[in-house]
Structure 1
Amino acid sequence: MPQISNRRYTKTHEQLLLSPLFSVLMGLLVTVLVPVLIFWGPDSLWNPDKAQAWAMMAACAALVVSSLWISRTLSAYPGGRSIGLVLPQVAIVYILAALVPMAFRVEVSRYLLGLSGFLAIIWFQVEIIITEKYRRPKLAVVGLGTASDLLGLPYIDVRELSKPDLEGVRYDAVVADFEHLTPEWERFLARCALDRIAVHNARSVFESVTGRVRINRMSENDIGSLLPSRLYESLKVIFDWVLILASLPVTLVIVGIAAILIKLESPGPVLYTQTRMGRGNLPFKIYKLRSMRFDLAAPAQFAGEDDPRITRVGRVIRKYRIDELPQFFNILKGDMSLIGPRPEQPEFAEYFDQKLPFYIYRHVVKPGITGWAQVRQGYAADVDQTREKIEHDFYYIKHCSLFLDIFILLLTIRTMCTGFGAR
């Protein structure tokens, strides 16, 4: 769904709040001008030395890049509206803004960038809170077919049309299920298009708001879109290796501490392996830190939130996803990726393949340690939740990109901090 236009808002303060230029200028005022005045005084604005000039340019560039990134996140993907994502996004940009000049031996003030980054986090959070009600799309819905599924969804203002007439109300778009329209409604949508009012398919709007792709029926275009490009897959392998190798010193320490605590609490191996289904619907061995009492003969079953088999240490490492860290070895072996649908046990995969249409298509990409379904929904504990989880997986496969992967990593950081969806 395209970004919201400003045509519904005619007041001056509304136009300013939704103006990208105004947002950037105010951001520069708060995050660059204020720190410069604090550190160097007003004279540095007119007669900066070389180091001060480079520092101000780095802070300005970091603010603009952060603004563009956050703006795209807010509009491109469901879940991007959370102010909890501002901190990691801004932190990444400002850390790079400090490291890049160092790589080229250009002197910049890390104190200025640090204060600028801190003020940027505050500025973007305040801006999101203030503009939230203005950025919520207002949609007129033709309540036929699947379009009625949009009623009651969060983040959008939906009004169902009782007759083919907007009655003078301004909407950002009209939404309809194009496969369930009467001639009267078709003529109405044609008039809307002639009046320069956007008309959207209910299916695409549902996907953009919920982050899910319906799996009741697939068209040829849907199936074709489930094939990621070879270039993307190659870049993703490089992306995985770089992140794993960069985080290895910290990861080894965390895994070492967790291994000692697991061994002290209960008998049995620290690591355990389990057969899971990977890309191409082929089995592979997955590695995890043991979070339950050791029972080699235990049957495959869902791990509930209050599962008595989970140990005290296991409850902590599952909550913060520490038990998944040994799967870095699976990634280096080529069985998995950092981002992708979670791999299922063969028994579950066979069962869901019988119950849910197109289930096997989730194996068109490598499984991941974290994924869109995990950060949006958490773990699934029954068939209904698994259906919703697969709808999230299909959204990821249909829209997969490095940008979406980075976004999922940011959501994963939030998930690890909050323990959302842990079982």
Structure 2
Amino acid sequence: MTLPQGQGGPPLAITAVATFVTVLTGSIILRNVTSYPGVEASVYFVPSFLITYGSLLLIFTMGRIPYSRPQIIGSFVCAVFLYYFAIVRLMRRRKPCIAVVAVGEIQPLLNEEYVDWRILASPDTPLNGAIAVAANLWADLPDEWDRRLADFALKGISVYHSKHLLESLTGRVELEHLSESTFGTLSPISAYMALKRGIDTLVALITLIVLFPVLAALAIVIRLNSPGPAIFRQQRMGYRGQPFTLYKFRTMTNAPPSQDQRDAAMTKDSDNRITSIGHFLRQSRIDELPQIINVLKGEMSWIGPRPEAMVLSRWYEKEIPFYRYRHIVRPGITGWAQVSQGHVAEVNEVKSKLHYDFYYIKNYSLWIDILIVVRTIRTMLTGFGAK
């Protein structure tokens, strides 16, 4: 039962001790769910705490133990945010020492600065303080290496598949050919896709009702700030490769009719077309709010790969193999690439962005969506990646 109004004392103390044990248990579960450092640990910290806090509520309810519901909710919220902003940051500063088997291409791993790497030139090379070993487990390793890796595992030393480790460290999946796919299937989980569509619609409807006066006021300010409509409309490539009209608050002056369409669709650093109020709207991401209409129409989701202008999308499809695969899920107002990399336009940068999109599709779930929401709040507060 919940704590009656005005009562405290022992029930509050019991709740405090129980939540402390719950957080500790959630941390232990997280360590056992994933052994890979980097992004993968961030993805699973929310479900780990949901399991332990859900179990705690079940124990209190079934045992009819008085407890403080606000205290439990507050503890859960604090645990999630503190874990992300403190513990994850600490893990990134404290470089783990990992040894790499020098068979095959290892340079992409060595380029990651958040790890102190040790190269194992032969099976007899000592670990020199390394706490784990990375190797290409798909490669045709010599028998002596197979035996050595088995010895490491028997001694309790983690042996990582180098490709999976690189994905966890970077939050990217480098997939450019169907034969390279490690997804198991090229289609994301349809059950979660249907659930997500329902959540998107409900949240969009509530948000539109609550923010309508603010959106109307912003539209008036934009019209007064510079000539042109308040809402910017542009054809974008959408879900399953179907074009749709995207809505945004206008943040730039209208492009002259003679301007090249591809150049007009790109936003460059310190772009002089951005209006005075446009800088604030872009930095805070408020300019994206009219896309609530796109979400209600089923053309977009709150979270997913950002939709590109049609002229840019066709250009990228010609230049980048397997680019169209990003359209397998609905495009989003915010996404994994946006909170990890920021805004890009050039082909080389888009290739990197595409790898972030592939990572999101591969790990398509409620948990990575929650992580993106947390990172989006940080992005809105810091203006990361805006142009």
**Structure 1 match to 2:132:** 173
**1:14-413 → structure 2 map (5 Å cutoff):** 51-56=8-13, 59=16, 72=30, 78=38, 108=68, 128=87, 132=91, 136-167=95-126, 169-180=128-139, 182-183=141-142, 184-219=144-179, 221-222=181-182, 224-295=184-255, 297=257, 298=259, 299-301=261-263, 302-413=266-377
Write the letter of the residue equivalent to 1:390.
Answer: L
Deviations 1:296-344 (A, max 9, x none): 7352331012111110111110111111111111011100101100011
Taking the aligned partners of 2:367 and 2:297, their CA distance within structure 1 comes to: 24
Give the deviation of 1:151 after TM superposition.
0.9
Determine if contact 1:305/1:422 at 8 Å carries over to the other structure. Answer: no
Write the letter of the residue equivalent to 1:159.
Answer: R
Taking the aligned partners of 1:116 and 1:199, their CA distance within structure 2 comes to: 35
Determine if contact 1:274/1:285 at 8 Å carries over to the other structure. Answer: yes
* Gap change, CA 1:326 and 1:201, over 3 Å in 2: same
Give the deviation of 1:172 after TM superposition.
2.9
Taking the aligned partners of 1:286 and 1:70, their CA distance within structure 2 comes to: 41
Write the letter of the residue equivalent to 1:386.
Answer: V
SS of 1:287's equivalent in the other structure is strand
Give the deviation of 1:388 after TM superposition.
0.4
Taking the aligned partners of 1:340 and 1:189, their CA distance within structure 2 comes to: 38
Give the deviation of 1:168 after TM superposition.
5.7
* Gap change, CA 1:226 and 1:60, over 3 Å in 2: farther
* Gap change, CA 1:233 and 1:151, over 3 Å in 2: same
Taking the aligned partners of 1:70 and 1:412, their CA distance within structure 2 comes to: 24
Taking the aligned partners of 2:36 and 2:202, their CA distance within structure 1 comes to: 26
Taking the aligned partners of 1:133 and 1:370, their CA distance within structure 2 comes to: 24
Give the deviation of 1:382 after TM superposition.
0.8
Identical columns (%) = 39
Give the deviation of 1:288 after TM superposition.
0.7
Q: How many corresponding residue pairs?
A: 359
* Gap change, CA 1:218 and 1:68, over 3 Å in 2: farther
Give the deviation of 1:255 after TM superposition.
2.1
Give the deviation of 1:199 after TM superposition.
2.2
**Structure 2 match to 1:24:** none
Give the deviation of 1:290 after TM superposition.
0.4
* Gap change, CA 1:261 and 1:56, over 3 Å in 2: farther
Write the letter of the residue equivalent to 1:398.
Answer: K
Determine if contact 1:251/1:325 at 8 Å carries over to the other structure. Answer: no
Write the letter of the residue equivalent to 2:226.
Answer: S
Write the letter of the residue equivalent to 1:336.
Answer: M
Q: Structure 1: which 4+ aligned runs deviate by more than 4 Å?
A: 49-82, 106-110, 112-127, 133-136, 179-182
Runs of at least 5 residues in structure 1 that lack an aligned partner in the other structure: 1-48
**Structure 2 match to 1:43:** none
SS of 1:213's equivalent in the other structure is coil
Give the deviation of 1:408 after TM superposition.
0.3
With normalisation by structure 2, the TM-score equals 0.79
Deviations 1:91-134 (A, max 9, x none): xx9xxx9xxx9xxxx99596x78997898699758973996489
Give the deviation of 1:206 after TM superposition.
0.5
Give the deviation of 1:192 after TM superposition.
3.0
Deviations 1:366-399 (A, max 9, x none): 0000000000000112111100000000000001
* Gap change, CA 1:381 and 1:61, over 3 Å in 2: farther
* Gap change, CA 1:116 and 1:264, over 3 Å in 2: same
Taking the aligned partners of 1:364 and 1:114, their CA distance within structure 2 comes to: 36
Taking the aligned partners of 1:130 and 1:354, their CA distance within structure 2 comes to: 39
With normalisation by structure 1, the TM-score equals 0.72
SS of 1:222's equivalent in the other structure is coil
